[in-house]
Structure 1
Amino acid sequence: MRYRAVCKIEECNWVVYTSRDHEKTCWQTKTFNNDHTCSREATNRAANRNWLTSKLVKKVRKYPNFRQCEAVVYFKSKCDLVLNRSSISRALAYARAVVYQDEKAQYIMVRDYGETLLKCNRGSTVRIDTILQLDGEVIFQKMSVCLSGCKNGFKTGCRRLIGLDGIFFKTQIGDQILSPVGQDANNHIYIIAWAIVDVKNTDNWK
């Protein structure tokens, strides 16, 4: 048994020839010319839409505002591929759709998450508010969580000082996370509770 591989460009001299040894215990490369005389190609038929989407999904999850020009640079630097903009644009749209659907699916499990917190942390407080649409669909509005351990820890070991902090979620859906924070005996930040809300206003802070 033997194999011979050549460059797909007929004029190129690149070649490798491999065969079994006499005892047929291993493979032996007998000819190997590693000099390409053809120009390098920056295209690959294997880089189809599904492959591009799988790569871009990871990027979009990490950077929701990942742009087409950044995708071009990414594939050029990481994969040495030059792709047309229409292919990248379609793959980026599919990647965003995948990520967006994944994020929406997470909200379906919010009530199960709340029940699990209450079951595993006796004395905790979990509140979930939703909005009922005219078509009967239930939309998530906000959720607040205060674990019993956080309550007791603040009462017994923290300074009597409460600060407020809030940040934006870097997701397609948006939302914000609000948190009242304290200060422990080591002057470190202590999370008392947290809430996921659609907008930062006085009502949601209360």
Structure 2
Amino acid sequence: MASQKWIVEKAVAWLRKNPNLEAKDLQNKFSEVYSVEVSYGTAWAGRQKALDKIYGSWDDSFQSLFNFRAELLANSPRSIMEIDTICNGDNVHFDKLFVALQPCIDGFKNGCRPYVGIDSTALTGRYNGQLGATCALDGHNWMYPVAWGVIGSESKDNWTWFMSQFKKAIGHPPALAISSDACKGLDGAVKKIKNIKDLPIVDLVDRLRQMTMELWEKRRKIADKLSGNILPVIISELKAKTKGLGHMRVCKNRHKAEIFGNYKDLTPWPHVVDLHEHTCSCRAWEVTGKPCCHALTFIQAGRNVDLGSFVHEYYSVARFKVAYSGTIPTMTDKSQWPNVNMGFKLLPPKLKIGPGRKRKNRFKSSDELGARKLDKCETCGEVG
């Protein structure tokens, strides 16, 4: 019979190589490698003890946040990390956390569009907190993590605190648009986020830093290969949209034109395009920064036209390179972090744990559940 000690020893070795292994995965490995049948409960308990051996005590991980902050700020002095606490008698408990790395802040302000999506996903560790994040979009429309944090629940007070910290981090970017419930549970921003949501909090925060560093390096390599003014993917997208526009008619007036067409029911429609102002009466050009189908109809009527000259600089190669030009701070192992004495022991949050095993996969929104009826624009008649 396999002892608990033996199970933990084997689980530690496997989890060091692959921290994403679940209890069911460990069950299968014990069966395949050692021909030992282990119950799910035993595998789950063994995994928890193995993780404690690897990452240290879950309770102590909250106190280690101060050490992490000291090491982070030593390597990136302009980064922001706020730790909010709550007192219960003589005890001090963890309440909330906010982290914004300076390269992410600078890259967002100088390389991305003034748009951020905000969302959160439930943590699956030993308490029912939420991992919140703000994500922007780079020129490729790839999600760009700007800041993240841990809050107890999605309450008004917690989100107010989180957003006030975010405001301190980014200041007042002009024409900033904020969309809530828009990060798709963060899975879109960091594909492997669900596999680290049960880590002790200090290891969770550190792993998010590492994943951001890996993402920056990957996209920086892509940026180094780019040349020209506008991102090639944007030019290819616009060229594809110029096909099939022959049904529209153009009535020019110097740099302005009236574009005529018909809806499917043959009802006529006109739109006014101004190439100098980069505007169209459908407003799609102003909103997206890329010429709409009406503008493209007018543009392609000319000769030797540079499509890139009609695209906003948000989609430029230069902006994309700036977005990832910063260096995410590298850090040593937690055993080498400064030992910060706050004069108190930071205890875990006092949160109730619901019955049953916590789900790791988020609930998908209605627009992700497969085929659905697409809305049609009343102005241009297009769907999407």
Q: CA deviation at 1:75?
A: 2.7
Task: Measure the CA separation in 1 of the matches of 2:37 and 2:105.
Answer: 55
Counterpart residue number, 1:75: 30
- Give the Cα separation in 1 of the matches to 2:127 and 2:142: 32
In structure 2, the partner of 1:139 is 93
In 2: Cα distance, 1:82 partner to 1:157 partner: 54
* Structure 1 vs Structure 2 CA RMSD: 3.0
SS at match of 1:103: coil
Aligned residue number for residue 153 of structure 2: 199
Residue 113 of structure 1, aligned match among 68, 71, 92? 68
Unaligned runs of 5+ in 2: 161-384
Is the alpha carbon distance of 1:131 and 1:55 closer, same or farther for their aligned partners in structure 2, counting shifts above 3 Å? farther
Q: Which residue of 128, 143, 152 corresponds with 1:189?
A: 143
CA contact (8 A) 1:154 1:182 kept: yes
Aligned pairs, number: 153
Secondary structure of 1:52's counterpart equals helix
Superposition TM-score, scaled by structure 1 size: 0.60
2:127 aligns with one of 153, 162, 173 = 173
Q: Alpha-carbon deviation of 1:119?
A: 2.4
TM-score (norm 2): 0.35
Hey, what's the Cα distance between the residues in 2 that align with 1:78 and 1:175?
36
The whole-number CA distance in structure 2 between the counterparts of 1:155 and 1:138 is 36
- Structure 2 letter corresponding to 1:132: C
User: Aligned runs of 1:1-206 on 2, under 5 Å?
Assistant: 47-56=2-11, 62=20, 66=23, 74-82=29-37, 93=45, 95-97=47-49, 99=51, 102-134=57-89, 136-206=90-160
Runs of 4+ in 1 over 3 A off after TM superposition: 55-59, 61-64, 70-74, 88-101
Larger relative contact order (CA 8 Å, sep ≥ 6) = 2
Q: Cα–Cα, structure 1 residues 164 and 72, in superposed 2: closer, same or farther, change >3 Å?
A: closer
Q: C-alpha distance in 1, partners of 2:127/2:66?
A: 18
Structure with higher Rg: it is 1
Residues 1:99 and 1:198: Cα distance change in structure 2 (over 3 Å) = farther
- What's the CA shift for 1:98? 5.8
